[in-house]
């Protein structure tokens, strides 16, 4: 009985081990192809060292991997430079598309923590078939960007490079929109998330120096080291003035007893969190009043449409309100 459990052709432990090893080898191949495709999209040349670094393997293992891709007809070498052929490029595009669609699914339709999105999508991208990716895209309403701001390519499209330029490149006082947060390496991304930064926030730089960059984003002041700010991509907002961003009001700034109305939710508010706030009545034109502040200052209770609702400060910082308070009736 014990021998059968190990050696059973399809379901024994030996078969499961072979399947897991096969998946691991396929995953490495697809990760290498994804790295080459993304490097090309961003105007960089993938190298043996860059593949080894991206996959965290030795250069010898990376060389063997490239030979395997060559043998399988997925890439060629032109003048010593690796190039994906049409089959390799199609596979790489599918892997990137599956990853970004799965991150969008986790962000929009589950309660999975933000720091888990990338890690889970890294696994799922190798399991989704092109047909399943098409079904997922339809279920999500054919999103064009993932929760980090990356463009989701179409099944028969091309891969665009990383969007925008870095926050480090912005002049003082220039209104910008945060379009993308780089989710690798994880240690850097974790610090950006801890700052409460998300794509969709409006910002401008207040101060730049060698050790730090200080900037305003959606009603709050933030400070990042330049190495972290390099992972925040932006695009200009010519229709806004710096003063417009300063004067933006958020529910988190409403004082006890204050009463105003909702202008809308920040684009940075998404997924289940956005649906919950809308369901609670935080839609444009709704009056909201501070009912009570907890002893620690967070959460705060608000009266909305005759109902008292307690919200955390990080949630109220995503609700834009009018700068004019309304006198109580």
- Percent of the chain whose predicted confidence (pLDDT) is above 90: 52
Residues 184 and 238 in one domain: yes
Q: What is the DSSP string of 108-126?
A: HH----HHHHHHHHHHHTT
- Measured between alpha carbons, how far is 179 from 164 in angstroms, rounded to an integer? 7
Written as six digits, the tokens of 41 are 């999209």
Q: Please report the pLDDT score of residue 7 as a whole number.
A: 54
Residue 149's Cβ-side half-sphere holds a number of Cα atoms within 13 Å equal to: 24
The confidence band for 206, taking pLDDT boundaries of 50, 70 and 90, is very high
Tens of pLDDT, residue by residue over 80-129, are 788 899 999 999 999 999 999 999 999 888 888 888 998 899 999 999 99
Written as six digits, the tokens of 33 are 């192809």
Domain boundary among 36, 63, 84: 84
Residues 171 and 216 in one domain: yes
Tens of pLDDT, residue by residue over 249-287, are 899 888 888 899 999 998 778 778 888 899 999 999 999
- Measured between alpha carbons, how far is 205 from 26 in angstroms, rounded to an integer? 44
Instruction: Return the CATH number at 261.
Output: 2.30.30.90
Full domain range(s) for residue 286: 249-321
Tens of pLDDT, residue by residue over 135-155, are 999 999 999 989 888 889 988
Instruction: Return the CATH number at 24.
Output: 1.10.10.10
Domain count across the chain: 3
- Measured between alpha carbons, how far is 50 from 185 in angstroms, rounded to an integer? 14
Cα distance from N-terminal residue to C-terminal residue, the chain: 80
Q: What is the mean pLDDT of residues 166-174?
A: 93
Tens of pLDDT, residue by residue over 9-45, are 655 666 665 667 777 889 999 999 999 999 888 888 8
Residues 14 and 77 in one domain: yes
Q: Please report the pLDDT score of residue 10 as a whole number.
A: 59
């Amino acid at each position: 009985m014990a021998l059968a459990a190990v050696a059973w052709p399809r379901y024994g432990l030996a078969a499961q081990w072979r399947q897991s090893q096969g998946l691991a080898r396929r995953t490495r191949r697809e990760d290498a192809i994804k790295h080459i495709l993304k490097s090309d999209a961003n105007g960089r040349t993938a190298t043996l060292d860059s593949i080894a670094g991206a996959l965290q393997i030795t250069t010898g293992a990376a060389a063997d991997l490239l030979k395997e891709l060559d043998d399988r007809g997925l890439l060629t070498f032109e003048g010593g430079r690796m190039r994906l052929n049409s089959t390799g490029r199609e596979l790489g595009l599918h892997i990137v598309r599956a990853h970004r669609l799965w991150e969008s699914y986790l962000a929009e339709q589950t309660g999975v923590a933000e720091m888990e999105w990338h890690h889970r999508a890294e696994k799922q991208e190798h399991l989704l078939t092109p047909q399943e990716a098409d079904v997922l895209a339809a279920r999500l309403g054919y999103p064009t960007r993932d929760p980090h701001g990356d463009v989701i390519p179409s099944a028969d499209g091309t891969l665009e490079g990383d969007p925008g330029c870095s926050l480090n490149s912005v002049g003082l006082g220039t209104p910008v929109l945060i379009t993308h947060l780089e989710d690798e390496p994880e240690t850097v991304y974790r610090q950006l998330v801890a700052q409460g930064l998300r794509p969709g926030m409006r910002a401008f730089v207040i101060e730049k120096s060698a050790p730090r960059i200080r900037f305003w984003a959606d009603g709050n002041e933030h400070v990042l080291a330049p190495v972290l700010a390099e992972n925040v991509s932006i695009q200009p907002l010519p229709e806004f003035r710096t003063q417009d961003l300063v004067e933006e009001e958020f529910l988190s700034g409403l004082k006890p007893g204050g009463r105003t109305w909702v202008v809308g939710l920040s684009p940075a508010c998404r997924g289940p969190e956005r649906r919950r706030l809308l369901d609670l009545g935080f839609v444009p034109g709704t009056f909201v009043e501070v009912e009570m502040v907890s002893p620690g200052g967070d959460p705060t209770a608000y009266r909305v449409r005759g109902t008292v609702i307690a919200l955390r400060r990080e949630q109220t910082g995503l609700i834009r309100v009018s700068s004019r308070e309304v006198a109580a009736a």
